[in-house]
């Protein structure tokens, strides 16, 4: 049977399949291009300031996907617990001396305790920058250096820049205080969530936030990295 002799229904199905194949191929091309640029740009370092110091130690901490910046909960330069309060956590354990903070999509944080719980609507909003953001803060009693935790010694001046960068990522109320999100979606007994500024997208991720913080501090950073890999290659 010639093409001209095929039924209208057959032609509609054929066109639909061709269109679907084109959409799928375009999607795969976009993903592969994104991954290629993510790989390449994450491996182009920005050296930052030449000054080095041992005034204070901060850390990069990853769970394999998401990176936190870890700072002393209290120091002579800043007391984070004035705003990120121990009482905002279930344990209210004031002996925890480290505070990890990560910026990310609010829907992921509060509605996706595991990857199995991920909703298509949450993923779509996160990828396209349509949802709001939050900062996840977790107190730690100790840190174990290794593949998932890197220590960075910095000067007092650099730490002040980092403090300013992190503080400016929090939303504040009319009195200038961080806004705690009241939720039962906590990951454990030592964490809390806060309203954050900005929108999350595939181009501005939690790891991009950390990388931008390193840039703002004057530390080594990647040209751009949506994943944690580039950061932990940079800080071996």
pLDDT tens readout for residues 195-222? 999 999 999 999 999 999 999 999 999 9
d(CA 221, CA 235): 9
Which pTM was predicted? 0.88
204 shares a domain with 117: yes
Containing domain of residue 223, as a range?
45-234
26 shares a domain with 82: no
127 shares a domain with 38: no
Query: What confidence tens digit (pLDDT) does each residue in 134-181 have?
Result: 999 999 999 999 999 999 999 999 999 999 999 999 999 999 999 999
65 shares a domain with 170: yes
Q: Is 36 exposed, middle or buried (0-12, 13-18, 19+ CB in 10 A)?
A: exposed
Q: What percent of the chain has pLDDT over 90?
A: 74
63 shares a domain with 115: yes
Angle (CA) 236 105 35, round 5°: 50
How many domains is the chain partitioned into structurally?
2
Phi-psi region of 43 (alpha: psi -120 to 50; beta: other; left: phi over 0): alpha
Q: What is the mean predicted confidence (pLDDT) over 87-99?
A: 98
137 shares a domain with 36: no
203 shares a domain with 156: yes
Residue 2 has pLDDT above 80, yes or no: no
146 shares a domain with 79: yes
Phi-psi region of 57 (alpha: psi -120 to 50; beta: other; left: phi over 0): beta
Query: What confidence tens digit (pLDDT) does each residue in 19-65 have?
Result: 777 788 887 888 899 999 999 999 999 998 877 788 999 999 999 99
pLDDT at 28: 84
9 shares a domain with 86: no
What is the radius of gyration, based on Cα positions, of the chain? 22
pLDDT at 115: 64
Residue 5 has pLDDT above 70, yes or no: no
- Residue 77 near residue 148 (C-beta atoms within 8 A): no
Average pLDDT, the chain: 91
37 shares a domain with 50: no
Find the length of the chain: 236
Query: What confidence tens digit (pLDDT) does each residue in 125-140 have?
Result: 777 777 799 999 999 9
30 shares a domain with 65: no
Residue 1 has pLDDT above 50, yes or no: no
DSSP string, 96-113: --EEEEEEEEHHHHHH-S
pLDDT band at 6 (very low <50, low <70, confident <90, very high): low
96 shares a domain with 26: no
Enter the tokens of residue 147.
Answer: 């593949």
């Amino acid at each position: 049977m010639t093409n001209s002799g095929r039924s209208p229904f057959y032609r509609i199905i054929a066109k639909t399949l061709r269109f679907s194949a084109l959409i799928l191929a375009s999607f795969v091309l976009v993903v592969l291009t994104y991954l290629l640029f993510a790989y390449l740009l994450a491996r182009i370092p920005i050296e930052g300031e030449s000054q080095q110091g041992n005034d204070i130690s901060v850390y990069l901490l990853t769970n394999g996907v998401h990176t936190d910046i870890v700072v002393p909960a209290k120091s002579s330069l800043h007391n984070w617990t004035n705003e990120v309060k121990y009482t905002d956590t279930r344990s209210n354990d004031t002996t925890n001396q480290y505070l990890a903070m990560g910026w990310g999509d609010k829907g992921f944080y509060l509605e996706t305790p595991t990857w199995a719980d991920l909703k298509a609507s949450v993923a779509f909003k996160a990828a396209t920058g349509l949802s709001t953001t939050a900062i996840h803060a977790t107190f730690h009693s100790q840190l174990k250096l290794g593949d998932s935790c890197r220590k960075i010694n910095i000067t007092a001046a650099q730490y002040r820049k980092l403090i300013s960068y992190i503080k400016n990522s929090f939303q504040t109320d009319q009195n200038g205080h961080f806004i705690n999100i009241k939720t039962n979606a906590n990951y454990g007994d030592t964490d809390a969530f806060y309203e954050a500024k900005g929108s999350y997208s595939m181009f501005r991720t939690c790891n991009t936030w950390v990388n931008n913080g390193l840039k703002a501090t004057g530390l080594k950073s990647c040209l751009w990295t949506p994943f944690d890999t580039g950061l932990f290659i940079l800080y071996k």
